């Protein structure tokens, strides 16, 4: 049964991970419906923000009822959100509602369920199975980009494509929800309710993970939210730009599995290792980005570093605070991802609109990651005296 759960988790995360293919739709939304770069990034940023905010009540529901109910709600809301977008007529407000609010809520309810279930089913390999589960999120951009690339090139209405995605992906998530469950012994285990109250607000380790989540995802979301227009602005042809999106997604998926193995071995040290890797990858975006092959390579490495954010902290929460507290502690850490979702893509788009270049945005993302690396180092050092 546990491998059925793992498979259902992976498939549902692939569907939810389609959000990272957002930049593939940006040119069509701009050319066909007149949206500005800032508007397209505001939609993406709101989706991320709502995603993370709804993880808090989703975590409480997960804790009280198990993973099946929130996962079923996720599938229903996902389909409704994409249908709203498909009947929007390209109006910014309705796209914002369909994607940002409804699909964002769907993602927030669906995302923590596979992580919590896999940690319960595979307690000896928390990092690895968490990495496999969230690798689906990274692979989701590859799958969706490859599915929509040809229809978009043929001139298929982007809103019609949204309708297809809502129907097919929503059904898959709903089916995964029907299958999702905890092990029998977990369902009958009585946990001391006192141990589930409150957050470790005075624990520097908690704040180190929160800081690392914000800094890593700020930079990663700034890049992925603007990746297609960034490539086109550098003179890369649309086909090469699509390859860059796929390369980022491949790196993201591979990074989640690889960093899962790393965190099982290196524990807290993996936080600083991942931030350092991401900073080096981002530096590579500062030159020679007009070469499609080079741009794809750097996109892959950036995705690899970005993927660490979604496995390291989830695995460390399960290890340090226990699987039974995952639904309560991880969502507040994940709120930092929501703040990054609001700030990163929108600031990247705004800086391009003002300067005509993505250079300033990339420099800012590097500075944020390096600042996070420094702050996390200090907090982790303090946490050694407060285990």
pLDDT digits (tens, 9 = 90+) for 190-237: 443 334 445 676 889 999 999 999 999 999 988 887 888 888 888 888
Nearest to 26 by CA among 169, 147, 152, 167: 152
Q: CB of 252 within 8 A of CB of 357?
A: no
Phi then psi for residue 11, to 5 deg, are: -65, -40
User: What is the pLDDT at residue 188?
Assistant: 44
**The two three-digit tokens of residue 361, written as one number:** 């945005």
Buried b or exposed e, range 2-32, using 16+ CB within 10 angstroms: eeebbebbbbbbbbbbbbbbbbbbbbbbeee
Q: CA 206, CA 199: separation in Å to the nearest integer?
A: 9
Q: CA 95, CA 164: separation in Å to the nearest integer?
A: 16
User: What is the pLDDT at residue 178?
Assistant: 93
**In which band, very low, low, confident or very high, does the pLDDT at 298 lie, cut at 50, 70 and 90?**
very high
**In which band, very low, low, confident or very high, does the pLDDT at 387 lie, cut at 50, 70 and 90?**
low
Architecture of domain 2-189+202-383 in this structure: Up-down Bundle (1.20)
pTM of the entire predicted model: 0.73
User: What is the pLDDT at residue 55?
Assistant: 87
Could you give the C-alpha distances from 287 to 26, 126, 167, 281, 333, in angstroms and in order? 24, 38, 42, 12, 34
3-state DSSP call for residue 67? Answer: coil
Q: CA 31, CA 356: separation in Å to the nearest integer?
A: 18
Mean pLDDT of the 97-103 span:
94
Helix (H) or strand (E) holding 256, with range, is helix 238-266
Q: CB of 144 within 8 A of CB of 163?
A: no
pLDDT digits (tens, 9 = 90+) for 109-138: 998 888 888 888 887 777 788 788 777 876
Q: What is the mean pLDDT of the chain?
A: 86
Going by the DSSP 8-state scheme, the letter that residue 202 receives in this structure is: T
**The two three-digit tokens of residue 269, written as one number:** 């040290």
């Amino acid at each position: 049964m546990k491998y059925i759960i793992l498979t259902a988790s992976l498939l549902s995360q692939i569907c939810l991970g389609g959000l990272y293919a957002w930049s593939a739709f940006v040119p069509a939304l701009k050319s066909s419906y007149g949206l500005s770069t800032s508007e397209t990034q505001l939609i993406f940023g709101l989706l991320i923000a709502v995603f993370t905010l709804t993880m808090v009540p989703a975590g409480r529901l997960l804790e009280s009822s198990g993973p099946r109910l929130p996962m079923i709600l996720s599938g229903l809301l996902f389909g409704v959100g994409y249908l709203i977008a498909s009947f929007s007529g390209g109006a910014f407000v309705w796209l914002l509602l369909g994607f940002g609010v409804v699909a964002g809520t769907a993602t927030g309810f669906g995302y923590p369920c596979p992580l919590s279930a896999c940690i319960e089913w595979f307690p000896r390999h928390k990092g690895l199975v968490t990495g496999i589960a969230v690798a689906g999120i990274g692979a989701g951009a590859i799958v969706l980009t490859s599915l929509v690339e040809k229809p978009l090139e043929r001139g298929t209405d982007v809103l019609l494509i949204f309708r297809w995605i809502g129907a097919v992906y929503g059904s898959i998530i709903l089916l995964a929800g029907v299958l999702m469950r905890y092990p029998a012994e977990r369902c009958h285990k009585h946990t001391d309710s006192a141990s589930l109250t409150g957050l470790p607000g005075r624990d520097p380790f908690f704040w180190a993970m929160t800081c690392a989540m914000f800094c890593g995802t700020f930079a990663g979301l700034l890049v992925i939210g603007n990746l297609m227009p960034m490539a086109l602005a550098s003179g890369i042809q649309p086909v090469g730009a699509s390859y860059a999106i796929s390369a980022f997604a491949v790196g993201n998926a591979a990074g989640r599995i690889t960093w899962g193995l790393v965190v099982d071995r290196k524990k807290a040290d993996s936080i600083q290792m991942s931030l350092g890797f991401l900073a080096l990858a981002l530096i590579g975006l500062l030159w020679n980005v007009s070469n499609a092959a080079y741009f794809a390579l750097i996109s892959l490495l950036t995705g690899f570093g970005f993927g660490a954010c979604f496995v390291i902290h989830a695995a460390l929460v399960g290890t340090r605070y226990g699987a039974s507290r995952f639904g309560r502690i991880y969502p507040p850490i994940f709120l930092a991802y929501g703040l990054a979702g609001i700030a990163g893509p929108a600031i990247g788009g705004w800086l391009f609109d003002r300067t005509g270049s993505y250079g300033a945005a990339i420099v800012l993302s590097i500075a944020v990651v390096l600042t996070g690396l420094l702050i996390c180092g200090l907090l982790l050092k303090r946490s050694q005296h407060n285990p």
